[in-house]
Chains A and B, each alone.
Chain A
Amino acid sequence: MTMPATRTAYPPSQRLEPSPDLVTKRRIPLSRRVPMTLSRISWYLLCSLLAVTMLVPLLWMISIALKPDSNILQLPPQLLPRSFQWSNFIRGPEQIQFPQLLANTVTVTVLSVFGSVASSMLAGYAIARIRFPGRNFWFYLFTFSIFVPGIVTLIPIQRMFFAMHLIDTWFPLILPSFFGNPVFIFLARQYFTSIPRSIDESAMIDGAGHWKIFTQLMIPLTKPLWITMTIMAFQGSWNDFLNPLVYLNSDSKYTLSLGMANFMGGLNEATPQFNYYMASNLLYMLPPLVLFFFAQRYFMMGLGTLGVSQK
């Protein structure tokens, strides 16, 4: 059974360069072997240089997060903290009631991840595997809505939630995700289409309906798909700034993105707790980072499959 997303990492390019022992066995002249190693060394040098450049901002953030208060307004600034002030990780989060905002963000994120993945899986399954009148029409309509910029719909939707007295609640952040995510439906449809029909045909002969096939056969079969969607939805919700900014007014309901932006916005030379800020910022980054290290494959896959499926 072939599935688009589970293809093993990078088989074709493995054949690009023959393995080292093959090279030596064929006794390639020294003149050709030396530039190989030279180019390899310069490749490592170049990549390391780029990697360090990429990491410098993050390392600098960690350094600020550990700096004692007396270090913050020092001129010229020091790259490394003079001593480590670990209490930044306690007092920083206290400034913005971090635990409260974390609980808010987790609530919003968990509910909207569940909503968008469940509704999009159902829609993707139906469009890919059930023959019914209007199926192409709906697929095109759902796909079209990918291209409608969020700002065009934001103002009327905001007025709608305003009329429903749902401003300054989490409903506007959660509710829409239960009604399907066009990008996810597109991905799900591609994935479901690639699964051989014989699987559900034999289940149908055994008398299984679509609900049973979907829940008992398809969900286990499409694990890479819904893990990828879960990660994409998690990132979308965890990182969302514009919607909380538009819908939430009271500090106690803020999500972390909003709280962190306000925290930074309030810092200046008179209140220079940048060390507190960077410590809190590290905590804010931690959940997506942990998720990334556990599910790295799936993180990169969502975009990868989207790119490949366009071919």
Chain B
Amino acid sequence: MEAFARPAGRGLSHRRRNTVTAYLFILPTIVGVAVFMIYPLISSAFHAFTKWDGLSPARWTGLDNFRYMLFDDPTFWPSLRATAYFVLLSVPSGIVFGLALAVLLNRVVPGVKLFRTIFYLPVVLPSIAVLTLWKYIYDPLYGLANQLLTDLHLPTSQWLQSSRMAMPAIVIIGIWGVGGSMIIFLAGLQNVPVEVYEAARTDGAGPIRMFFAITLPLITPIILLQLVLGLVLAFQAFNQVAVLTNGGPGTSTTLFMYKIYSDAFGSYPNLGLATAEALILFVIIMIITGVTLRTSSMWVFEETK
């Protein structure tokens, strides 16, 4: 009897033991998600409707924060405009330059690895090290940028101190770090089957024709990935502004993320307002990512298997 009963009993306890083990393995993450995501989301959703300075208890004020934001806050709309400008400049340029570099470096010739390493190098450096370096590069008097422009007899600029040039200057730093998106595109390009190119070549297609007819359609899934990642990250850009401009001159570089930070942790903390703004940012990111993903079927090439 025992010999027969044991396997069944063992099988049952085996499954239960599996479940226990699995939950022990994911327990830290479950706790983490609860404490560092779900609780903060609930807390934010509540505090967005309160007046809260962090010292005295939060007081329910209904839609006041949102009303203030939309109609009275002098920096809300300018910061949204600055963020939109930043996103529109930085995300497409990251994709275009990243893809261009990847196509350029997707061949097997001596030295290609060295070039890949050099283009990737800026990505490895700490963002604060890069930003402080560029802050000095953009110095109107002593910086490298104006020095080179003078040597080339080109007009110089006030860069970060000019409300017209500050944002493009920040975007240029991002383009310097385009090696990150280059690597993702390279991985995608290497997945394009070689036979397709060979067939096109025998049909007499040139390199430009091949790029637009083969390469581009086949890597649209990677472009979509880059687009979504790029959008999510660009909407949350913070370090650039905190290190380089403090949002100025005027509000020309007051990215929304920087505004939220200043409202929450500045000299006059308004945590209720900042939480409401953070929720708005979350909603904006969700809507834009959602629209991007929904409309992607119109231009993303899907392999029919």
Contact = CB atoms under 8 A, between A and B. Distances in A.
Interface of A: 10, 12-17, 40, 43-44, 46-47, 50-51, 54-58, 60-61, 64, 72-73, 75-77, 79, 119-120, 122-123, 125-127, 130-133, 135, 138, 141-142, 145, 147-160, 162, 176, 178-180, 185, 209-211, 214, 235, 238-239, 241-242, 245-246, 256-257, 260-261, 263-265, 274, 277-278, 281, 284-285, 288-289, 292, 296, 299-300, 303-308, 310-311
Contacts of A288: 124-126
Contact of B119 (A51, A158, A281): A51
Interface string B3-41: 000000000000001110111011011111101110111
A10 B194 CA distance: 12
Contact of A210 (B18, B134, B180): B18
Contacts of B274: 155
B121 interface: yes
Contacts of B185: 307
A274 B142 contact: yes
Contacts of A296: 117
Contact of B128 (A76, A141, A157, A239): A239
B191 to A, nearest CB: 6
Nearest to A118: B28
B44 interface: yes
Given A47-B115, A149-B282, A274-B136, A54 B122 contact: yes
12 contacts: A15-B194, A40-B109, A54-B119, A77-B147, A79-B147, A126-B22, A155-B264, A242-B242, A278-B133, A285-B125, A303-B184, A308-B191
Contact of B31 (A46, A56, A179, A241): A179
Interface stretch (B64-72, B84-92, B232-240): B232-240
Majority SS of interface residues in chain B?
helix
Q: Which range holds the interface residue count of chain B? A: 35 or more
Nearest to A121: B25
B78 interface: no
Given A10-B190, A241-B239, A148 B41 contact: yes
Given A13-B194, A122-B28, A242 B239 contact: yes
A95 to B, nearest CB: 14
B54 interface: yes
A285 B106 CA distance: 28
A57 B126 contact: no
Interface string B260-271: 110011000001
A299 B135 CA distance: 27
B195 to A, nearest CB: 9
Contact of B28 (A50, A150, A179, A303): A179
Nearest to B177: A54
A176 to B, nearest CB: 5
Given A157-B40, A239-B128, A289-B124, A132 B187 contact: no
B197 interface: yes
Nearest to A74: B142
Given A149-B282, A162-B54, 4 more contacts: A57-B134, A131-B18, A180-B28, A288-B125
B121 A58 contact: yes
Choose among B22, B44, B190 the residue with the greatest number of A CB atoms under 10 Å from its CB: B22
A307 B118 contact: no
B197 A138 contact: no
B188 A289 contact: no
Contacts of B96: none
Given A12-B194, A260-B129, A155 B275 contact: yes
Interface in B274-305: 274-275, 278-279, 281-282, 285-286, 289
A17 B122 contact: no
Contacts of A277: 132, 136
